[in-house]
Structure 1
Amino acid sequence: MPTTVQKARKAIAKKKGNITALHENSRDSQRLRRAQMRDDKLDRVAAARKKNDRPLMERAAYFQEAVRKNDGKPLQLDAIQSLIQTFVHQYDEEFNELKKKRRAGRPASTREDILRLKIATDEKEYENGFYLPDISLEENAIYLDRWEGDWSYLSTLKWVRISSNGTTTPSIFPPKGKS
């Protein structure tokens, strides 16, 4: 797909011919700069969106793997809860290892702080309602098994929040606050 800069360059070349030399503040050079700034902004926004979407993509991939291990069949609530437990505590070993490596009296490393926050956030979310695709439904398990990593496909799945006490509440995708 052509970028804005390429389109602007082509339009200017069509008008002027070869554009090897433009005056610094000419209309054409300003047009090229605006196009470049727009492309840079779009790249920044796309990178930020991808960074924000990554945790949900990783979560969906984790539960997709669990469905695939179960041959595309739905899972019972107790199996789902054990999967959630392993997902919440997936960083415990690395966290404990970093904690052991640290000398006494030294502050925690940045990675250790990040892991501590991630574990605490996931545990709190699990108490209030862990957000995941509903893999207790046959149709949803089939859809999740077919998923190829595309963000837009995740909206076809039904999502739920499962709390630590076993209550299941339907939710929407993408999550907007406490849905």
Structure 2
Amino acid sequence: MPKGRIVGVVAIIAVLAGFAWLAIFGMNNSTTNLPSALIGKPFPEFDLTAVGQPSKRITKEAILGKPAVVNVWATWCRECLHELPTLSRLSKQGVPIYGVNYKDLDSETIQKWMTEYEHPYVINISDPKGTLSLALGVYGAPETFLIDKKGIIRYKLIGLITEENWSTVLAPIYQELLNE
């Protein structure tokens, strides 16, 4: 094989190996800390109903006034179920948690889920068409947002809230919002 051809093959292999290395090790592979264009922007306007109370309208004004956690959840989401103990503990400690029920259409299933599992939501917003979730840039459930007292989105977490990520990431941000 001519020397030029060997150099070409080696170069191609080196480039492919470089791409493979970047894909595996070099790029930020976190799916829980994806950037959001909404950080620093106001929470989207909405006019939806409360879960289980179709005559009760909820708007953005209902979630303003103090720093809070906005948690996007669904009955079909297994991780949402796993994060409930942490969210319930935080709620009992006085952290306001607003739920956004993402694309659940069966009100009977929602009510069964709400009755069967202790839910931590001060307000629970029904988003059956996903309009609010779409405006928030939600990929799926669970996703969680920290908002300040004016409703500015300060942080977005994709995936479930755990004791660890609450204490190491979310709690310090939440405390800063309380101190503002």
Return the TM-score normalized by structure 1.
0.31
Return the TM-score normalized by structure 2.
0.30
* More helix per residue: 1
> Which has the bigger relative contact order, CA under 8 A and spacing at least 6?
2
* More strand per residue: 2
Question: Which protein shows a greater Rg?
Answer: 1
